[in-house]
Amino acid sequence: MIVSPSLLSADFADLKGEMQWFNQSPADWLHLDIMDGVFVPNISFGFPVLKHVARLCRKPLDVHLMIVQPEKFVQEVKELGAYLMNVHYEACPHLHRVIGQIHEAGMKAGVTINPATPVSVLQDIIEDVDLVLLMSVNPGFGGQKFIPHTTRKVKELRELIAETGSKALIEVDGGVNAETGKLLKEAGADVLVAGSYVFNAPDPAEACALLKNL
Ligand code: DX5
Ligand code: ZN
């Protein structure tokens, strides 16, 4: 299992300290949630902050843009040194073009769908993306409750990937903990994002290890 802790639940007054344990932990990627107060009803952090996080982080950056018109920021995400750029299906009328722009910039491209968006909309883009991010909460906030229908969506997506021969990984974001993580693993998830479960744990590195070895 690839584990991608979400910085949204970190202590923003001590990002340096958070990056210290993180770099030495079994976590694989760092998940960065960028919000604009338009696509989602919250604002998190932007590029001036993330530039410093990127400088301190020794692991691949998994960037999740919860913003309208994410295509405007391909260059900024690339300059962070991101490994993966995730854009929402619901925010991109020209999704195929955006995925191409992300690839041209030299990054892996992910498409994200909200809890009310069915997996079937991915039919004509699944072969072009490196990853699908399934939201298991309504995006915008950490610490929400896992929406159970996500495990069924993971299975449906697994089938679509097999049918099309796509190489896309399946990532799940929201309300992930040891219990929901196990269900997601059984359903066929490849990557788990976890914010509050990891950052609020007495030993965050141990929480990462637990998710990794579910
Ligand atoms: C929510 C974000 C998530 C969030 C997850 O909009 O996309 O990445 O940090 O937080 P938890 O794991 O606490 O649900
Ligand atoms: Zn996220």
Domain coordinates in residue numbering, the chain: 2-212
CATH code given to domain 2-212: 3.20.20.70
HSE, CB side, 13 Å, CA atoms: give it for residue 118.
Answer: 4
**Cα of 197 from ligand 1 centre, angstroms:** 10
Which atom of ligand 1 has the smallest separation from the CA of 7? Answer: 9
Question: Residue 104 — pLDDT band, cuts 50, 70, 90?
Answer: very high
pLDDT for position 76: 98
Angle of helix 204-212 relative to helix 15-24, nearest 10 degrees, comes to: 40
Ligand 1 touching residue 114 (CB < 6 A)? no
Both structure tokens of 41: 């009803």
Which atom of ligand 1 has the smallest separation from the CA of 146? Answer: 14
Asked whether the beta carbons of 177 and 142 are under 8 A apart, the reply is: no
Both structure tokens of 212: 């990794």
10 phi and psi, to 5 degrees? -75, 170
Residues making up the chain, counted from first to last: 214
Report the predicted TM-score, pTM, of the whole model to 2 decimal places.
Answer: 0.98
Ligand 1 touching residue 195 (CB < 6 A)? yes
Pocket test for ligand 1, best of 172, 193, 208 (most atoms within 8 A of CB): 193
Q: How far apart are CA 31 and CA 11, in angstroms?
A: 15
| Helices and strands in the chain: count of H runs, count of E runs | 8, 8
**Residue 12 carries which DSSP code?**
G
Ligand 1 touching residue 143 (CB < 6 A)? yes
- CA dist list (Å): 116 to 38, 134, 153: 18, 10, 11
Q: How far apart are CA 180 and CA 138, in angstroms?
A: 16
Ligand 1 touching residue 6 (CB < 6 A)? yes
pLDDT for position 52: 98
pLDDT for position 168: 98
pLDDT for position 190: 99
pLDDT for position 180: 98
